[in-house]
Amino acid sequence: MDDFILGFTTLFFDPVGVSVFFGGLVGGLVFGAIPGLSAVTLATVLLPFSVYFAPSHAIMLLAVIYVSGIYGGAVTAILFNIPGSAENAPTAFDGYPMTQKGESGRAIGAAVTCSALGGIGSCILMMAATEPLANWAIRAFGPPEIFALIFLGLSIAATVGAETVWKGWLSVLFGLLLATIGTDPAGGLARFDFNIDYLMAGIHFVPLILGFFAVSEVFIQGHQIARGLRVPPALGIDFPSLAEFWRLKFAVVRSMMIGFFSGILPGIGAVLASFLSYGEAVRWSKNPERFGTGEIEGVVASETANNAATGAAMIPLLALGLPGGALTAVMVGAFQIHGMEPGPLVLITSKDLVWVVFVAMFLANVGIFMLGYIETKTVVHLLRVPFSLLAPAILLIASIGAYALRGLVVDVWVMFLAGIVGYLMRRSGYSMAAVVLGVILGQLGESAFIKSMQLLDYNPLNFFTRPVSAILLVLGIASLAYSIHRASRIVPDEDAREPRTP
């Protein structure tokens, strides 16, 4: 507690520190919300200027940007089906359908509150036990355990948002197929590249999610307008009630734990955290069929987990010097600019600095809640804009986002192609959420699988010789079997032909 008070007073009795804190908070929110840009973009731009800051301010600035940037993309995902960043994609799975049902306020309220709760919970764990947690995590989880965790996540993916489980599985497999395009993660062999550099590099995730979500939605809405079926969404600015949060308490705690442990593993991070957490929310729900149609628990799962991953990602960085993702690598740069190396010694030699960062991240999560509350009451009114004006704006923002990523016009074309494919698939009862789960889990899973096979002498049965991977795989196989069993007993409702979202 003394350390917390020390960090708090160091931060808030210094006007420069306060300015840096609020600047980072707002900057992260804005950059996180714009597709194609991210908290990493802002952090990279600011890094060279951090030389003019005190070390504690420089590191704190990046940490605050990290926290608010992860949340920033949730609002556009919920209101317009445009996830600002990959880790907000699962938020759109249910957040946008909630908007369509006139529950945008509830969705943003849930996202804000749960981002803050997830972040605060993870900060408390970070403050309590950075070193032992870091050492435990890297010992318990090697490539086989990470693969088993991803397999468990994939085993539930088919049940999200599709008309039937079989169509769900086809959607997942399509996503897995897309993930194999490009250079393979181990041997450097090109797959499905047709001798085109763009394909050899693999299709980037950002144009895909912009196409599958934002562009296909514009087409779907346009289709409904043409058929005279479109009902504009009602405006909802109501925050979820306390009773509702209490009902979701287990979901929040579960998502916090998943987010935290995903964040603590080097190379995993917030993206996988939100996808895995969403999958688990579906698995544990009594009504899994509601996911993908506007279930608040879907928003809760995704947003709690991705923010819980931020505090957790600081643990291997500070305790072991291992930056697990791009933003933590930028932080290493900030440490080095000031003549320090993150690692076990920092916790001893620069305790003041570490506690300023801890406190700043904790307060940034509180700040998200306050700024988010204001957003709920204000930004939601953007939905009053007629769709005929909103649609070109969505297409424009999505196009800029796809282009800004790498300065490639091809990415914009790929986005529109994904939009057309997404439109046709959704009209036929397939699930974009399941496709996207397949793409992201496929890319990470293949990399973990190849390393595992090398470690396990190319014998898949050896996965079961390691307790953690064995338990996760058995759970995944059981879940898969149950899903197939259920699918074979359910007769699809032939009348349910209207496209589902997303």
Partner 1 sequence: MPQGKSVFTVGGLAALALGVAVSTTAVAADLMKPGGYPERTVSIIVPYGPGGGSDQVARAWAAAMQKVTGVGFSVENKPGGGGLAAIPDFMSRPKDGYTILEQTDGIITAEAAKQIDFTLGEDLIPICVTQATFSQVYIRPDEDRYTDWASFVAYAKKNPGQVNLANIGVEGSMEVVQWGAIEDAAGINVKQISFDKPAERYASLIGGHTDALFEQPGDVRKYLEGGQMKAILNVLSSSPDAFKDVPSLNDANIGDVPVLQRVRLFWVHKDVPDERREYLVKACDVAFKTDDYQKFNRSKYMHLARSYYGGQDATDLVRGLVDAYVALYKKIGFSK
x-or-dash string of contact with partner 1, 405-424, rule CB under 8 A: -xxx-x--------------
Provide the Cα torsion 369, 370, 374, 377; round to 10°. 50
Counting contacts by CB under 8 A, is residue 323 touching partner 1? Answer: yes
Query: Hey, how many other C-beta atoms are within 10 angstroms of the C-beta on 272?
Result: 28
Q: How many residues of this chain bind partner 1 (CB under 8 A)? A: 60
Q: Which of 73, 118, 98, 91 is nearest to 375 (CA)?
A: 73
Q: Pick from 23, 102, 222, 344 the residue near partner 1 by CB under 8 A.
A: 344
Please say which residue, 450 or 484, places its beta carbon nearer to partner 1: 450
Counting contacts by CB under 8 A, is residue 396 touching partner 1? Answer: no
Counting contacts by CB under 8 A, is residue 400 touching partner 1? Answer: no
Measured N-to-C along each axis, helices 39-46 and 15-33 cross at an angle, to the nearest 10 degrees, of 140
Counting contacts by CB under 8 A, is residue 329 touching partner 1? Answer: yes
- CB under 8 A: which stretch of 164-172, 281-289, 400-408, 433-441 binds partner 1? 400-408
Counting contacts by CB under 8 A, is residue 454 touching partner 1? Answer: yes
Query: Hey, how many other C-beta atoms are within 10 angstroms of the C-beta on 87?
Result: 33
Please say which residue, 87 or 375, places its beta carbon nearer to partner 1: 87
Please say which residue, 337 or 472, places its beta carbon nearer to partner 1: 337
Counting contacts by CB under 8 A, is residue 359 touching partner 1? Answer: no
Shortest separation between residue 267's beta carbon and partner 1, angstroms: 4
Please say which residue, 160 or 337, places its beta carbon nearer to partner 1: 337
Calpha distance 281→299 (Å, rounded): 10
Burial 254-267 (b: 16+ CB within 10 A, else e): bbbbbbbbbbbbbe
Q: Pick from 48, 460, 467, 492 the residue near partner 1 by CB under 8 A.
A: 48
Query: Hey, how many other C-beta atoms are within 10 angstroms of the C-beta on 242?
Result: 8
x-or-dash string of contact with partner 1, 264-283, rule CB under 8 A: --xx----------------
Calpha distance 197→299 (Å, rounded): 37
Q: Are 275 and 43 in contact (CB under 8 A)?
A: no
- CB under 8 A: which stretch of 96-104, 185-193, 363-371, 380-388 binds partner 1? 185-193
Counting contacts by CB under 8 A, is residue 310 touching partner 1? Answer: no
Counting contacts by CB under 8 A, is residue 69 touching partner 1? Answer: no
Counting contacts by CB under 8 A, is residue 180 touching partner 1? Answer: no
Counting contacts by CB under 8 A, is residue 183 touching partner 1? Answer: yes
Q: Pick from 161, 175, 324, 502 the residue near partner 1 by CB under 8 A.
A: 324
Burial 290-313 (b: 16+ CB within 10 A, else e): bbbbbbbbbbbbbbbbbbbbbbbb
Calpha distance 30→124 (Å, rounded): 26
Q: Pick from 105, 168, 182, 211 the residue near partner 1 by CB under 8 A.
A: 182
Counting contacts by CB under 8 A, is residue 349 touching partner 1? Answer: no
Q: Is 206 exposed, middle or buried (0-12, 13-18, 19+ CB in 10 A)?
A: buried
Query: Hey, how many other C-beta atoms are within 10 angstroms of the C-beta on 488?
Result: 9
Restricting to residues 461-500, name those near partner 1 by CB under 8 A.
none
Counting contacts by CB under 8 A, is residue 198 touching partner 1? Answer: yes
298: tokens are 């879907």
The distance from CA 16 to its chain's CA centroid, rounded to whole angstroms, is 32
Tell me the Ramachandran region of residue 323: left when phi exceeds 0, alpha when psi lies from -120 to 50, beta otherwise: beta
249: tokens are 């308490």
Q: Under the rule (CB under 8 A), what is the footprint of partner 1?
A: 41, 44-45, 47-48, 137-143, 182-190, 193, 197-202, 266-267, 316, 320-326, 328-330, 332-333, 336-337, 341-345, 406-408, 410, 447, 450-451, 454-455, 457
